[in-house]
Structure 1
Amino acid sequence: EVPVAGVFAVSSAYHVAVAWTPYFAVEDADVAAARVRERSGTVAVGPLTLGKGRGVLASDRDGASFGLWERTEASASPPAPADHAHAWLRLRTRNAFDAAIFYGEVLDWASGRPGCCDVAYEGDEVIVRCGGHPLARISSGAVEAAVDPVVRPHWQVQFPVADLAATVSAAERHGGALVEERTGFEGTEVTLRDPDGALFAVTDVRSPA
Protein backbone atom coordinates (compact mmCIF):
# COMPACT_ATOMS: atom_id res chain seq x y z
CA GLU A 1 0.00 0.00 0.00
CA VAL A 2 1.21 3.49 -0.88
CA PRO A 3 0.60 6.28 1.69
CA VAL A 4 -1.39 9.13 0.16
CA ALA A 5 -2.33 11.41 3.06
CA GLY A 6 -2.43 11.75 6.82
CA VAL A 7 -5.38 12.80 8.97
CA PHE A 8 -4.93 14.12 12.50
CA ALA A 9 -6.88 16.18 15.01
CA VAL A 10 -6.19 19.89 15.48
CA SER A 11 -6.52 21.29 18.99
CA SER A 12 -9.10 24.07 19.33
CA ALA A 13 -6.50 25.97 21.35
CA TYR A 14 -4.60 26.76 18.14
CA HIS A 15 -7.62 28.47 16.51
CA VAL A 16 -6.63 26.98 13.15
CA ALA A 17 -9.17 26.19 10.44
CA VAL A 18 -9.51 22.54 9.47
CA ALA A 19 -7.95 22.03 6.05
CA TRP A 20 -6.20 19.68 3.67
CA THR A 21 -2.61 20.94 3.57
CA PRO A 22 -0.15 19.79 0.88
CA TYR A 23 3.40 19.06 2.05
CA PHE A 24 6.31 19.40 -0.37
CA ALA A 25 9.44 17.31 0.13
CA VAL A 26 12.64 19.33 0.59
CA GLU A 27 16.26 18.36 1.20
CA ASP A 28 16.70 20.82 4.08
CA ALA A 29 13.73 22.20 6.02
CA ASP A 30 15.77 25.04 7.52
CA VAL A 31 16.95 26.25 4.12
CA ALA A 32 13.46 26.01 2.61
CA ALA A 33 11.90 27.87 5.56
CA ALA A 34 14.48 30.63 5.20
CA ARG A 35 13.65 30.93 1.50
CA VAL A 36 9.96 31.37 2.36
CA ARG A 37 10.77 34.25 4.74
CA GLU A 38 13.21 35.86 2.28
CA ARG A 39 10.44 36.00 -0.33
CA SER A 40 7.87 37.62 2.00
CA GLY A 41 6.07 34.38 2.84
CA THR A 42 5.21 33.39 6.40
CA VAL A 43 6.55 30.47 8.45
CA ALA A 44 3.93 29.74 11.10
CA VAL A 45 5.34 26.54 12.64
CA GLY A 46 8.70 24.79 12.54
CA PRO A 47 10.93 23.36 11.47
CA LEU A 48 10.05 20.68 14.03
CA THR A 49 9.99 16.88 14.26
CA LEU A 50 7.15 15.41 12.21
CA GLY A 51 6.91 11.65 11.78
CA LYS A 52 10.11 10.36 10.19
CA GLY A 53 11.29 13.84 9.35
CA ARG A 54 11.07 17.55 10.06
CA GLY A 55 8.12 19.68 9.04
CA VAL A 56 7.24 23.32 8.45
CA LEU A 57 3.82 24.95 8.12
CA ALA A 58 3.96 28.11 6.02
CA SER A 59 1.97 30.37 3.72
CA ASP A 60 2.91 32.16 0.53
CA ARG A 61 2.73 35.90 -0.13
CA ASP A 62 -0.99 35.69 -0.94
CA GLY A 63 -1.91 33.66 2.14
CA ALA A 64 -2.19 30.13 0.69
CA SER A 65 -1.04 27.61 3.31
CA PHE A 66 1.32 24.73 2.56
CA GLY A 67 3.81 22.50 4.30
CA LEU A 68 7.46 21.53 3.86
CA TRP A 69 8.84 18.17 4.91
CA GLU A 70 12.41 16.92 5.17
CA ARG A 71 12.81 13.15 5.51
CA THR A 72 15.35 12.16 8.16
CA GLU A 73 14.64 8.40 8.28
CA ALA A 74 14.39 5.82 5.54
CA SER A 75 10.91 5.02 4.26
CA ALA A 76 9.52 1.49 4.42
CA SER A 77 6.68 2.35 2.01
CA PRO A 78 6.83 1.44 -1.68
CA PRO A 79 6.88 4.27 -4.24
CA ALA A 80 3.66 5.31 -5.93
CA PRO A 81 2.95 3.71 -9.33
CA ALA A 82 4.53 5.77 -12.10
CA ASP A 83 1.39 5.71 -14.25
CA HIS A 84 -1.18 6.77 -11.66
CA ALA A 85 -1.64 9.67 -9.26
CA HIS A 86 -3.73 9.06 -6.16
CA ALA A 87 -4.19 12.81 -5.79
CA TRP A 88 -2.89 16.02 -7.28
CA LEU A 89 -2.93 19.68 -6.43
CA ARG A 90 -4.33 22.95 -7.72
CA LEU A 91 -3.28 26.35 -6.43
CA ARG A 92 -5.83 29.09 -6.88
CA THR A 93 -3.90 32.31 -6.45
CA ARG A 94 -3.86 35.99 -7.31
CA ASN A 95 -1.32 35.65 -10.12
CA ALA A 96 -0.20 32.25 -11.38
CA PHE A 97 3.09 33.46 -12.80
CA ASP A 98 4.12 35.29 -9.62
CA ALA A 99 3.21 32.22 -7.57
CA ALA A 100 5.24 29.95 -9.86
CA ILE A 101 8.30 32.13 -9.28
CA PHE A 102 7.78 32.07 -5.48
CA TYR A 103 7.38 28.29 -5.25
CA GLY A 104 10.04 27.66 -7.87
CA GLU A 105 12.61 29.57 -5.81
CA VAL A 106 11.54 27.98 -2.52
CA LEU A 107 11.30 24.40 -3.82
CA ASP A 108 13.98 24.46 -6.54
CA TRP A 109 11.51 23.91 -9.36
CA ALA A 110 13.05 24.25 -12.83
CA SER A 111 16.48 24.64 -11.24
CA GLY A 112 18.21 22.16 -13.53
CA ARG A 113 19.37 19.96 -10.65
CA PRO A 114 18.71 16.19 -10.93
CA GLY A 115 15.18 15.23 -9.90
CA CYS A 116 13.76 18.76 -9.86
CA CYS A 117 10.25 19.49 -11.09
CA ASP A 118 9.64 21.18 -14.43
CA VAL A 119 7.41 24.22 -14.87
CA ALA A 120 5.48 24.97 -18.07
CA TYR A 121 3.35 28.01 -18.87
CA GLU A 122 0.32 26.73 -20.77
CA GLY A 123 -2.34 29.27 -21.64
CA ASP A 124 -3.27 31.16 -18.48
CA GLU A 125 -2.09 28.38 -16.14
CA VAL A 126 1.19 27.03 -14.86
CA ILE A 127 1.68 23.24 -14.95
CA VAL A 128 4.18 21.59 -12.60
CA ARG A 129 5.52 18.16 -13.58
CA CYS A 130 7.87 15.95 -11.57
CA GLY A 131 9.62 13.08 -13.30
CA GLY A 132 7.47 13.77 -16.34
CA HIS A 133 4.25 13.25 -14.37
CA PRO A 134 1.85 16.13 -13.60
CA LEU A 135 1.84 17.25 -9.97
CA ALA A 136 -0.06 20.54 -9.86
CA ARG A 137 -1.80 23.31 -11.75
CA ILE A 138 -1.55 26.96 -10.72
CA SER A 139 -4.31 29.31 -11.85
CA SER A 140 -4.97 33.03 -11.37
CA GLY A 141 -8.09 34.84 -10.22
CA ALA A 142 -8.20 34.31 -6.45
CA VAL A 143 -9.02 37.32 -4.26
CA GLU A 144 -7.04 37.60 -1.03
CA ALA A 145 -9.68 39.59 0.88
CA ALA A 146 -12.64 37.45 -0.23
CA VAL A 147 -15.01 36.17 2.46
CA ASP A 148 -15.61 32.92 0.57
CA PRO A 149 -12.71 30.47 1.23
CA VAL A 150 -13.22 29.00 -2.25
CA VAL A 151 -12.30 32.37 -3.76
CA ARG A 152 -9.37 33.16 -1.45
CA PRO A 153 -5.88 31.94 -2.45
CA HIS A 154 -5.53 28.30 -1.40
CA TRP A 155 -4.07 24.94 -2.33
CA GLN A 156 -6.76 22.42 -3.16
CA VAL A 157 -6.23 18.66 -3.00
CA GLN A 158 -8.00 16.84 -5.83
CA PHE A 159 -8.82 13.13 -5.75
CA PRO A 160 -9.64 11.31 -9.01
CA VAL A 161 -12.63 8.98 -8.62
CA ALA A 162 -14.27 6.39 -10.85
CA ASP A 163 -17.86 7.51 -10.17
CA LEU A 164 -18.23 11.22 -9.47
CA ALA A 165 -21.97 11.17 -8.70
CA ALA A 166 -21.62 8.25 -6.27
CA THR A 167 -18.73 9.95 -4.49
CA VAL A 168 -20.65 13.21 -4.06
CA SER A 169 -23.68 11.29 -2.79
CA ALA A 170 -21.54 9.41 -0.26
CA ALA A 171 -20.01 12.67 0.97
CA GLU A 172 -23.45 14.20 1.50
CA ARG A 173 -24.71 11.11 3.34
CA HIS A 174 -21.81 11.44 5.78
CA GLY A 175 -22.39 15.11 6.55
CA GLY A 176 -20.42 16.75 3.76
CA ALA A 177 -21.72 19.35 1.33
CA LEU A 178 -21.30 20.18 -2.35
CA VAL A 179 -19.72 23.64 -2.67
CA GLU A 180 -18.99 24.06 -6.36
CA GLU A 181 -19.14 22.07 -9.59
CA ARG A 182 -17.02 22.99 -12.60
CA THR A 183 -17.15 21.29 -15.98
CA GLY A 184 -14.44 21.90 -18.53
CA PHE A 185 -12.94 20.38 -21.64
CA GLU A 186 -11.08 17.71 -19.65
CA GLY A 187 -13.94 16.69 -17.34
CA THR A 188 -15.83 17.65 -14.20
CA GLU A 189 -14.44 18.79 -10.85
CA VAL A 190 -16.57 19.04 -7.70
CA THR A 191 -15.47 20.93 -4.60
CA LEU A 192 -16.77 19.41 -1.36
CA ARG A 193 -16.75 20.52 2.26
CA ASP A 194 -16.38 17.83 4.92
CA PRO A 195 -18.35 17.96 8.23
CA ASP A 196 -15.52 19.93 9.90
CA GLY A 197 -15.31 22.51 7.12
CA ALA A 198 -12.25 21.29 5.20
CA LEU A 199 -12.46 21.81 1.44
CA PHE A 200 -11.29 19.23 -1.10
CA ALA A 201 -12.18 18.24 -4.64
CA VAL A 202 -13.10 15.06 -6.46
CA THR A 203 -12.87 14.76 -10.22
CA ASP A 204 -13.38 12.36 -13.08
CA VAL A 205 -10.23 13.72 -14.75
CA ARG A 206 -7.56 11.02 -14.59
CA SER A 207 -4.62 13.40 -14.94
CA PRO A 208 -4.32 17.15 -14.23
CA ALA A 209 -2.36 17.85 -17.41
Structure 2
Amino acid sequence: MAALPEGTPCWADAMFTDLEGAKAFYGDVLGWTFGESSSEYGDYTQAYSDGKAVAAIVPPMPGGEGTPARSAWCLYLASPDAGATAARIRAHGGEVVMGPMRIGDFGTMVIAKDPAGVVFGVWQAGRHEGFERQGEPGAYSWAELVTREPAKADAFFPAVFPYGAKKMAGGDFDYRMYQVGERAVLGRMAAEGDFLPPEAPSYISVYFAVEDTDAAIGRLTARGGTVYFGPMDSPFGRFAAVGDPQGAAFGLIDLGRTAGEPPRTEDV
Protein backbone atom coordinates (compact mmCIF):
# COMPACT_ATOMS: atom_id res chain seq x y z
CA MET A 1 0.00 0.00 0.00
CA ALA A 2 1.41 3.40 -1.00
CA ALA A 3 1.67 6.13 1.63
CA LEU A 4 -1.49 8.22 1.81
CA PRO A 5 -1.53 11.81 0.50
CA GLU A 6 -0.49 14.48 3.01
CA GLY A 7 -3.31 15.48 5.36
CA THR A 8 -5.32 12.30 4.81
CA PRO A 9 -6.53 10.53 7.99
CA CYS A 10 -4.38 7.42 8.26
CA TRP A 11 -4.72 5.99 11.79
CA ALA A 12 -6.54 6.23 15.12
CA ASP A 13 -5.68 5.11 18.62
CA ALA A 14 -6.78 5.70 22.20
CA MET A 15 -5.31 5.38 25.70
CA PHE A 16 -7.30 3.39 28.25
CA THR A 17 -6.68 2.80 31.94
CA ASP A 18 -8.62 -0.46 31.68
CA LEU A 19 -7.17 -2.05 28.56
CA GLU A 20 -8.99 -5.35 29.01
CA GLY A 21 -12.27 -3.49 29.49
CA ALA A 22 -11.66 -1.59 26.24
CA LYS A 23 -10.99 -4.87 24.44
CA ALA A 24 -14.24 -6.37 25.71
CA PHE A 25 -16.25 -3.25 24.81
CA TYR A 26 -14.94 -2.68 21.30
CA GLY A 27 -14.79 -6.39 20.60
CA ASP A 28 -18.53 -6.60 21.26
CA VAL A 29 -19.64 -3.28 19.73
CA LEU A 30 -17.41 -3.25 16.63
CA GLY A 31 -16.39 -6.90 16.34
CA TRP A 32 -12.71 -6.16 16.83
CA THR A 33 -10.07 -8.72 17.69
CA PHE A 34 -6.72 -7.74 19.16
CA GLY A 35 -3.12 -8.61 18.53
CA GLU A 36 -0.39 -9.21 21.06
CA SER A 37 0.59 -6.16 23.12
CA SER A 38 4.03 -4.81 22.23
CA SER A 39 5.91 -4.35 25.51
CA GLU A 40 8.73 -2.63 23.62
CA TYR A 41 6.27 0.13 22.68
CA GLY A 42 4.34 0.54 25.93
CA ASP A 43 1.95 -2.39 25.38
CA TYR A 44 0.57 -0.77 22.22
CA THR A 45 -2.11 -3.17 20.99
CA GLN A 46 -3.53 -3.21 17.47
CA ALA A 47 -7.20 -3.86 16.78
CA TYR A 48 -8.30 -5.88 13.76
CA SER A 49 -11.46 -6.24 11.71
CA ASP A 50 -11.52 -9.36 9.55
CA GLY A 51 -7.78 -9.66 10.06
CA LYS A 52 -7.01 -6.10 8.90
CA ALA A 53 -5.51 -3.46 11.24
CA VAL A 54 -8.08 -0.73 11.90
CA ALA A 55 -7.01 1.04 15.13
CA ALA A 56 -5.01 0.57 18.32
CA ILE A 57 -5.37 0.90 22.08
CA VAL A 58 -2.67 1.50 24.67
CA PRO A 59 -2.49 1.72 28.50
CA PRO A 60 -1.31 4.90 30.24
CA MET A 61 2.41 5.56 30.35
CA PRO A 62 4.17 4.39 33.54
CA GLY A 63 4.03 7.08 36.19
CA GLY A 64 1.05 8.74 34.58
CA GLU A 65 3.05 10.95 32.19
CA GLY A 66 0.90 11.88 29.25
CA THR A 67 -2.21 10.27 30.72
CA PRO A 68 -5.32 12.24 29.72
CA ALA A 69 -8.01 13.20 32.24
CA ARG A 70 -10.31 10.89 30.29
CA SER A 71 -9.82 8.48 27.43
CA ALA A 72 -10.12 9.94 23.93
CA TRP A 73 -9.63 8.79 20.36
CA CYS A 74 -6.77 10.46 18.51
CA LEU A 75 -6.88 10.80 14.73
CA TYR A 76 -3.56 10.83 12.85
CA LEU A 77 -3.06 12.78 9.62
CA ALA A 78 -0.51 11.58 7.08
CA SER A 79 2.70 13.54 6.52
CA PRO A 80 5.73 12.90 4.29
CA ASP A 81 7.90 14.79 6.81
CA ALA A 82 6.73 14.89 10.43
CA GLY A 83 9.42 17.38 11.39
CA ALA A 84 8.33 19.86 8.73
CA THR A 85 4.69 19.43 9.72
CA ALA A 86 5.58 20.04 13.38
CA ALA A 87 7.33 23.27 12.37
CA ARG A 88 4.23 24.47 10.51
CA ILE A 89 2.04 23.57 13.49
CA ARG A 90 4.13 25.85 15.72
CA ALA A 91 4.35 28.59 13.08
CA HIS A 92 0.57 28.81 12.78
CA GLY A 93 -0.30 28.95 16.46
CA GLY A 94 -0.61 25.27 17.31
CA GLU A 95 1.24 23.32 19.98
CA VAL A 96 3.44 20.26 19.56
CA VAL A 97 2.73 18.15 22.64
CA MET A 98 4.99 15.22 21.74
CA GLY A 99 7.55 14.44 19.04
CA PRO A 100 8.52 14.18 16.37
CA MET A 101 9.27 10.73 17.77
CA ARG A 102 10.63 7.84 15.75
CA ILE A 103 8.83 4.56 16.58
CA GLY A 104 11.33 1.93 15.48
CA ASP A 105 10.94 1.29 11.77
CA PHE A 106 7.15 1.74 11.98
CA GLY A 107 7.21 5.49 11.39
CA THR A 108 7.43 8.89 13.09
CA MET A 109 4.68 10.43 15.20
CA VAL A 110 3.70 13.85 16.47
CA ILE A 111 0.93 14.67 18.93
CA ALA A 112 -0.30 18.24 18.58
CA LYS A 113 -3.07 20.71 19.37
CA ASP A 114 -4.65 23.27 17.11
CA PRO A 115 -4.92 26.89 18.40
CA ALA A 116 -8.24 26.03 20.08
CA GLY A 117 -6.76 23.04 21.91
CA VAL A 118 -8.07 20.23 19.68
CA VAL A 119 -5.75 17.22 19.91
CA PHE A 120 -4.67 15.38 16.77
CA GLY A 121 -1.77 13.25 15.58
CA VAL A 122 0.62 13.35 12.65
CA TRP A 123 2.07 10.16 11.19
CA GLN A 124 4.99 9.81 8.81
CA ALA A 125 4.71 6.24 7.60
CA GLY A 126 7.51 3.76 7.73
CA ARG A 127 6.68 0.08 7.84
CA HIS A 128 3.30 0.92 9.39
CA GLU A 129 1.35 2.74 6.67
CA GLY A 130 -1.95 3.12 8.52
CA PHE A 131 -5.44 1.72 8.17
CA GLU A 132 -5.53 -1.60 6.32
CA ARG A 133 -9.29 -1.34 5.93
CA GLN A 134 -11.65 1.64 5.66
CA GLY A 135 -15.31 2.33 4.93
CA GLU A 136 -16.47 -1.16 5.88
CA PRO A 137 -18.15 -2.46 9.05
CA GLY A 138 -15.68 -2.46 11.93
CA ALA A 139 -13.35 0.06 10.27
CA TYR A 140 -12.73 3.81 10.16
CA SER A 141 -15.09 5.66 7.83
CA TRP A 142 -14.96 9.41 8.54
CA ALA A 143 -13.87 12.05 11.03
CA GLU A 144 -14.96 15.55 11.85
CA LEU A 145 -13.54 18.34 13.93
CA VAL A 146 -16.21 19.52 16.39
CA THR A 147 -15.01 22.92 17.58
CA ARG A 148 -16.26 25.97 19.43
CA GLU A 149 -13.71 28.08 17.52
CA PRO A 150 -14.23 27.26 13.84
CA ALA A 151 -12.41 30.36 12.56
CA LYS A 152 -9.21 29.20 14.25
CA ALA A 153 -9.54 25.74 12.71
CA ASP A 154 -10.23 27.18 9.25
CA ALA A 155 -7.09 29.30 9.42
CA PHE A 156 -4.88 26.61 10.96
CA PHE A 157 -5.53 23.30 9.21
CA PRO A 158 -5.28 24.52 5.58
CA ALA A 159 -2.04 26.31 6.53
CA VAL A 160 -0.49 23.16 8.02
CA PHE A 161 -1.85 20.67 5.46
CA PRO A 162 -2.53 21.10 1.72
CA TYR A 163 -6.28 21.46 2.22
CA GLY A 164 -8.86 23.14 0.08
CA ALA A 165 -12.28 23.60 1.63
CA LYS A 166 -15.95 23.50 0.72
CA LYS A 167 -18.87 24.56 2.89
CA MET A 168 -22.31 23.06 2.99
CA ALA A 169 -24.77 25.51 1.51
CA GLY A 170 -28.12 26.21 3.14
CA GLY A 171 -29.21 24.83 6.48
CA ASP A 172 -28.76 26.43 9.88
CA PHE A 173 -25.36 24.99 10.78
CA ASP A 174 -21.76 25.81 9.91
CA TYR A 175 -20.09 22.77 8.36
CA ARG A 176 -17.04 22.61 6.12
CA MET A 177 -15.15 19.78 4.50
CA TYR A 178 -11.38 19.97 4.16
CA GLN A 179 -10.23 18.43 0.88
CA VAL A 180 -7.07 16.91 -0.55
CA GLY A 181 -7.51 17.53 -4.25
CA GLU A 182 -11.12 16.68 -5.02
CA ARG A 183 -11.48 14.25 -2.12
CA ALA A 184 -13.11 15.35 1.14
CA VAL A 185 -10.97 13.95 3.97
CA LEU A 186 -12.09 15.72 7.16
CA GLY A 187 -15.24 17.51 8.31
CA ARG A 188 -15.37 20.66 10.45
CA MET A 189 -18.51 21.28 12.50
CA ALA A 190 -18.98 24.54 14.41
CA ALA A 191 -20.18 23.61 17.91
CA GLU A 192 -22.60 26.48 18.43
CA GLY A 193 -24.99 27.05 21.31
CA ASP A 194 -25.41 23.93 23.45
CA PHE A 195 -24.16 21.53 20.76
CA LEU A 196 -21.44 20.40 23.20
CA PRO A 197 -21.97 20.10 26.95
CA PRO A 198 -20.10 22.86 28.85
CA GLU A 199 -17.61 20.38 30.28
CA ALA A 200 -16.82 18.75 26.90
CA PRO A 201 -13.75 19.97 25.02
CA SER A 202 -13.63 20.60 21.28
CA TYR A 203 -12.42 17.37 19.67
CA ILE A 204 -12.13 15.27 16.53
CA SER A 205 -14.89 12.67 16.34
CA VAL A 206 -13.74 9.43 14.72
CA TYR A 207 -16.53 7.44 13.03
CA PHE A 208 -16.44 3.68 12.76
CA ALA A 209 -18.74 1.91 10.30
CA VAL A 210 -21.20 -0.74 11.46
CA GLU A 211 -23.69 -3.00 9.71
CA ASP A 212 -26.63 -1.70 11.76
CA THR A 213 -26.37 1.46 13.88
CA ASP A 214 -29.33 0.62 16.09
CA ALA A 215 -28.05 -2.88 16.82
CA ALA A 216 -24.59 -1.49 17.60
CA ILE A 217 -26.15 1.03 19.99
CA GLY A 218 -27.93 -1.83 21.72
CA ARG A 219 -24.61 -3.58 22.28
CA LEU A 220 -22.96 -0.32 23.32
CA THR A 221 -25.53 0.58 26.00
CA ALA A 222 -25.54 -2.98 27.32
CA ARG A 223 -21.79 -2.61 27.85
CA GLY A 224 -22.17 0.68 29.72
CA GLY A 225 -21.63 3.06 26.81
CA THR A 226 -23.46 6.36 26.32
CA VAL A 227 -25.48 7.75 23.40
CA TYR A 228 -24.95 11.51 23.06
CA PHE A 229 -26.87 12.10 19.84
CA GLY A 230 -28.99 10.05 17.47
CA PRO A 231 -29.34 7.65 15.86
CA MET A 232 -30.27 9.82 12.90
CA ASP A 233 -30.70 9.17 9.19
CA SER A 234 -28.70 11.28 6.75
CA PRO A 235 -27.65 11.25 3.08
CA PHE A 236 -24.35 9.74 4.23
CA GLY A 237 -25.73 6.98 6.46
CA ARG A 238 -27.54 6.37 9.74
CA PHE A 239 -25.26 7.69 12.48
CA ALA A 240 -24.96 8.39 16.18
CA ALA A 241 -22.50 10.16 18.48
CA VAL A 242 -21.60 7.85 21.37
CA GLY A 243 -19.07 7.23 24.10
CA ASP A 244 -17.47 4.21 25.71
CA PRO A 245 -17.51 3.47 29.48
CA GLN A 246 -14.07 5.08 29.92
CA GLY A 247 -15.16 8.39 28.39
CA ALA A 248 -13.83 8.14 24.83
CA ALA A 249 -16.31 9.71 22.39
CA PHE A 250 -16.67 8.40 18.84
CA GLY A 251 -19.25 7.94 16.11
CA LEU A 252 -21.11 4.99 14.64
CA ILE A 253 -22.43 4.99 11.08
CA ASP A 254 -24.24 2.52 8.86
CA LEU A 255 -23.02 3.65 5.44
CA GLY A 256 -25.58 1.49 3.64
CA ARG A 257 -28.64 3.15 5.14
CA THR A 258 -28.92 6.59 3.54
CA ALA A 259 -31.83 9.01 3.37
CA GLY A 260 -32.30 12.19 1.37
CA GLU A 261 -30.13 14.00 -1.14
CA PRO A 262 -26.56 15.07 -0.31
CA PRO A 263 -26.40 18.79 0.51
CA ARG A 264 -25.03 21.25 -2.01
CA THR A 265 -21.49 22.47 -1.36
CA GLU A 266 -19.68 25.69 -2.25
CA ASP A 267 -16.00 26.60 -2.45
CA VAL A 268 -14.68 28.89 0.27
TM-score by length of 2: 0.63
Aligned equivalents of 1:83 and 1:147: distance in 2? 33
Q: Among 107, 112, 134, which residue is 1:58 paired with?
A: 112
Deviates more, 1:54-63 or 1:91-100: 91-100
Identity %: 25
Q: Aligned residue for 2:213?
A: 164
Equivalent residues of 1:158, 1:203 under 8 A apart: yes
Cα distance between partner residues in 2 of 1:9 and 1:18: 10
Query: Are the structure 2 counterparts of residues 48 and 87 from structure 1 closer, same or farther at C-alpha, using a change threshold of 3 Å?
Result: same
Amino acid at match of 2:64: A
In the alignment, does 2:222 pair up with 1:173? yes
How many residues matched?
197
Task: State how 1:98-117 maps to structure 2 within 5 Å.
Answer: 98-110=152-164
Q: TM-score, normalising length from structure 1?
A: 0.79
RMSD, aligned α-carbons: 3.1
* Structure 2 CA distance for aligned equivalents of residues 13 and 172 of structure 1: 29
Matches within 5 A, 1:1-209: 1-11=51-61, 13-14=64-65, 15-16=67-68, 17-50=70-103, 52-73=106-127, 75=129, 80=133, 86-110=140-164, 119-123=165-169, 124-130=174-180, 132-141=182-191, 147-149=198-200, 152-181=201-230, 183=232, 185-186=234-235, 187-205=237-255
- The separation in 2 between residues aligned to 1:188 and 1:81, in whole angstroms, is 17
Q: SS of the residue aligned with 2:71?
A: coil
- Greater displacement, 49-58 / 3-12: 3-12
1:36 match: secondary structure: helix
User: Does the CA-based 8 Å contact 1:188-1:204 persist in structure 2?
Assistant: yes
Structure 1 or 2: more strand by fraction? 2
In structure 2, the residue corresponding to 1:32 is in which secondary structure?
helix
Aligned with 1:135: secondary structure? strand
- Structure 2 unaligned regions, length at least 5: 1-50, 264-268
